[in-house]
Amino acid sequence: MRTQYEASTPENKLDAEHTRQAHSQRWFATFASLAHSRLPLPAYLQKVTDTLREVAGVASAVVEWIEGAELVYRAASGAAAAHVGVRLPTAGSLSGLCITRQQALISRNTATDHRVDRAACEAVGAVSMVVAPVVYEGRSVAVLKLISGEVDYFGPSDISILDAFCACIAETIAREQIAQENRELLKENASVAADLNVESALRSEYEKKLADAMRRRQTVLDNAHVAFVSMDEAGMVVEWNAAAALLFGWKAQEVAGRELASFIVPERSRDAHRTGLTRYLATGEARMINQRVELPALRRDGSEFAAELTISEVWYEGQRQFACFVHDITDRRVATEANERLRLLIDSVSDYAICMLDQNGYVRSWNDGARAIYGFTAAEAIGRHFALFYTSDEHGRDRPGDDLTLTAKRGRIEHEDWHVRRDGSEFWAHMILSALPNDSGGERSFVKITRDMTARRRLEELEASSRRMNEFLALLGHELRNPLAPIRNAVSILKLKASDDAEVIRSRQIVDRQLAHLTHLVDDLLEAGRVSSGKIRLSTDVLDIADVVHLSVEASQPLIDQRGQRIVLQESGQPLYVNGDSTRLVQALNNLLNNASKFSPPASTITLEVGPRGGSVMVRVVDQGRGISADALGTVFDLFVQEHAPGAHPDEGGLGIGLTLVRAIAELHGGHVEAKSGGAGKGSAFSLWLPLAEAPASGAPADALPAALAGRQLDVLVVDDNRDSADSMTLLVDMLGHRARAAYDGAEALDAFEAQRPQVVLLDLSMPGLTGFDVIRRMRDDGKRVIVAAMTGLGSDEDRARTRAAGFDAHLVKPVDLPELERVLALAAHA
């Protein structure tokens, strides 16, 4: 409580301390004289509240008497005096809580303190208060209450002073109760004072009651579960109950009249104990610090344990004694240490926000992880409702309240949703809310564990976006191949149809080149999808790298010749073998050669170096072209990345996919690719590194596909729902010297197949109604051999495996090149 003795400057602190001690000594001297006043109990209690209010300088002082489950205002001073006699339930009040815990409690602001009876507080004007139990023989008999009209008026020192006073008056209250009974008996005796026999009988009855009371007191002490000992001013044992004998191992008769310290204090601490007792008696220090002291205690067998002593000064038959309640707090200390370790562990967790909630959802603890994730400090979060972390939409439908109710019912809930940080930003949170067990059956508290899953959610969204992009690219590639098919068929027809008109020939060549370029772009789109989804598959064998190089040069030669460029091949002259997929390696090297040609000036030279480097084969393509800036070197292999903006250079085309595909193929072979350049205008060099492999065992070469027999005419059925594609393919087959028929859906194809069995069926896969897979299943039912080729815009390894498993003899990717068509017809010619 606040007094005029508070020091405001460093120079006044020492004087203020002496002043406070003198004030406290005068206070307790007042209470000591009050204890000897021999007033009747009602007057004594009223005197206690008047004196306590005057000395403490507060608005009100109250003595609440405990009667069963109720508290009665037995005495009161100040503003509360008008409420003497009022009865309040013990449950739901701060006084009831202090009785249960047998310890003093402070309410700093009754308006926000859930422990208090707010209606009762408002009635007596209690804005803040401190309450303490008056404990007699281990049992709470009353509560002392100090009331202030100011917020946060009381502090820890008030608890110590009030505890001390409760201990001082406990014995007096008990004695005054007995004395009151005695006075009532004397009053009764006064009416029959002349009758000596009656007086004698009454006196005998009083003495009997007194003896019974003493026996009851002794019985209570002997049967109490808390060790109780008392000593006189010399430190000698006066009382020693059965619980003390059980705790320390000494019987009462063994310690009575002997020094208490020699039995319960370890030898190393006895001198300090005796010194403290001497100081206690000389200065009255303990009278103003009725404290609970933790210290090591000694058993008879020499073992030590952690003990808590509550020491009170009492007066009995005119003599000062010191009553001590001793508790073995070993389990409590172990639990406290365990709780501290758990607290330190929880505080050290930085990836999870862990907080405790009371039964109403208010935050009671806050770890470092919570501060890192939510942005609130412990001081900002503790005491606030956990709805603080929910979005405004969830507030509207009371999601926090529903979560608490559901958790209390189920014991645990877990979900992911958006949560809110201190700065208002939102993050994707994985939250576990668990109800803590409550053996007493009361309302349950909760623990909330939250993890920031924003990064995972963004990754999932990115993966989903990538998956959708791949699906889109596959669909786009398929849809683009369908219109390309009849165009390719028409170009092939123009090639077969001889013409001497230079303009016709030039136009056919333009269409052929642009169609090849468009087909290449569609292939690149599909390859991009396979690269990003990891669906590129290899069919490996032991290869001579020279074969790969020659096939790549052969594929790139038309583009190089068109630009008037030349290739210089520098080989080591020794066979170099790698484990790889010939088609994919040719594709990778062909991309590097085409890039070198595209970005180099006409009539320039492209150098292709091949040779061993340690345990690897190096294939390097060096050009004299535009070069690559230092900033762009790190990103040239990224998907859809080009050094210059689209259209910046008319001779630069493509989608920025080729080099990404080269890197993917190299890494699938256990190698890598690197790019170097001296800068703009200084050319560039791309090196493909592949692990060397052992030379293959010698064997017979594989047979080449035989050419078609001259003069063998085949009956061919072309099935495609795209009429232009079907009609143009039919015309192309006719021009190759065979008979061709067209069908425009699956049902028509089966009818045509039954009417006249063909030797070859060119079958589209994606048709409405009956698909190509449905059609081939029915064509194969009769067991007769027919060459059936899938004709589709889908060309991945998975698509080829699916058609092979369905029984197709070949897989033609739209637009179908003339050599591929002739190869399928050759299969039928030799069947």
- pLDDT tens, 791-827? 887 777 788 888 999 889 999 888 888 888 888 888 8
For residue 488, pLDDT beyond 80: no
Q: What is the pLDDT of residue 622?
A: 92
- The per-residue pLDDT of the chain, averaged, comes to 78
Work out the percent of the chain whose per-residue pLDDT is above 70. Answer: 71
Q: What is the pLDDT of residue 627?
A: 83
Work out the percent of the chain whose per-residue pLDDT is above 90. Answer: 10
Q: What is the pLDDT of residue 621?
A: 92
Q: What is the pLDDT of residue 238?
A: 85
Q: How far apart are CA 521 and CA 797, in angstroms?
A: 18
- Backbone dihedral region for residue 418 (phi beyond 0: left; psi -120 to 50: alpha; all else: beta): beta
In this prediction, residue 27 has a pLDDT band, given cuts at 50, 70 and 90, of low
Q: What is the pLDDT of residue 701?
A: 44
Cα 515 versus chain centre, distance: 54
DSSP letter assigned to residue 306: E
User: Any idea where the domains of the chain sit in the sequence?
Assistant: 10-183, 224-328, 333-452, 455-500+708-831, 541-691
In this prediction, residue 460 has a pLDDT band, given cuts at 50, 70 and 90, of confident
In this prediction, residue 130 has a pLDDT band, given cuts at 50, 70 and 90, of very high
Cβ count within 10 A of residue 142: 27
Distances (CA, A) of 71 to 50, 87, 344, 446, 600: 20, 6, 41, 32, 101
805, 817 contact by CB (below 8 A) = no
DSSP letter assigned to residue 707: P
Token pair for 79:
């503003």
For residue 485, pLDDT beyond 50: yes
Q: What is the pLDDT of residue 594?
A: 86
Q: What is the pLDDT of residue 224?
A: 59
Q: What is the pLDDT of residue 529?
A: 58
DSSP letter assigned to residue 653: -
Q: What is the pLDDT of residue 128?
A: 93
What values do phi and psi take at 706, rounded to 5?
Answer: -65, 150
Collapsed DSSP state (helix, strand, coil) of residue 85: coil
Q: How far apart are CA 355 and CA 347, in angstroms?
A: 10
Place of tokens 């009725």: 290
Contacts of 135 (CB under 8 A, 6+ apart): 102, 141, 166, 167, 170
Stretch 196-220: mean pLDDT: 63
Q: What is the pLDDT of residue 698?
A: 58
In this prediction, residue 646 has a pLDDT band, given cuts at 50, 70 and 90, of very low
Burial class (CB in 10 A: 0-12, 13-18, 19+), 284: middle
- pLDDT tens, 668-694? 888 888 888 878 878 899 999 899 888
Stretch 26-49: mean pLDDT: 73
In this prediction, residue 517 has a pLDDT band, given cuts at 50, 70 and 90, of low
Token pair for 775:
């059609």
671 vs 634 pLDDT, higher one? 671
In this prediction, residue 106 has a pLDDT band, given cuts at 50, 70 and 90, of very high
Stretch 423-442: mean pLDDT: 82
791, 760 contact by CB (below 8 A) = no
- pLDDT tens, 328-369? 888 777 777 666 666 666 666 667 888 889 988 999 988 888
Stretch 235-254: mean pLDDT: 86
The CATH fold assigned to 455-500+708-831 is Rossmann fold (3.40.50)
Query: Worst-scoring range by mean pLDDT, 244-253, 498-507, 588-597, 609-618?
Result: 498-507
Burial class (CB in 10 A: 0-12, 13-18, 19+), 690: buried
Token pair for 635:
């990103």
Q: What is the pLDDT of residue 7?
A: 44
Q: What is the pLDDT of residue 341?
A: 66
Stretch 482-509: mean pLDDT: 69
In this prediction, residue 648 has a pLDDT band, given cuts at 50, 70 and 90, of very low
For residue 46, pLDDT beyond 80: yes
For residue 519, pLDDT beyond 90: no
For residue 647, pLDDT beyond 60: no
The predicted model scores a pTM of 0.35
Q: Does domain 10-183 have CATH number 3.30.450.40?
A: yes
Q: Does domain 333-452 have CATH number 3.40.50.720?
A: no
- pLDDT tens, 716-743? 999 998 888 888 888 888 888 889 999 9
DSSP letter assigned to residue 318: T
Q: What is the pLDDT of residue 453?
A: 84
For residue 708, pLDDT beyond 50: no
Write down the CATH number for the domain with range 224-328.
3.30.450.20
Q: How far apart are CA 368 and CA 371, in angstroms?
A: 5
196-223 and 156-190 helices cross at what angle (nearest 10)?
A: 150
Q: Which of 76-90, 192-206, 313-327 has the highest mean pLDDT?
A: 76-90
CATH architecture of 541-691: 2-Layer Sandwich (3.30)
Stretch 53-68: mean pLDDT: 86
Q: How far apart are CA 685 and CA 675, in angstroms?
A: 6
In this prediction, residue 559 has a pLDDT band, given cuts at 50, 70 and 90, of confident
Same fold, 10-183 and 224-328: yes
The order of strands in the sheet holding 566-570 is 566-570, 605-613, 616-623, 684-691, 672-677
Q: Which of 120-129, 461-470, 525-534, 796-805 has the highest mean pLDDT?
A: 120-129
Q: What is the pLDDT of residue 9?
A: 56
In this prediction, residue 219 has a pLDDT band, given cuts at 50, 70 and 90, of low
Q: What is the DSSP string of 322-385?
A: EEEEEEE-HHHHHHHHHHHHHHHHHHH--SEEEEEE-TTSBB----HHHHHHH---HHHHTTSB
93 vs 517 pLDDT, higher one? 93
In this prediction, residue 131 has a pLDDT band, given cuts at 50, 70 and 90, of very high
End-to-end CA distance of the chain: 111
- pLDDT tens, 279-313? 666 665 545 445 677 788 888 888 888 888 777 77
CA-wise closest residue to 780 among 806, 744, 810: 806
Stretch 183-194: mean pLDDT: 62
Q: What is the pLDDT of residue 615?
A: 83
For residue 704, pLDDT beyond 60: no
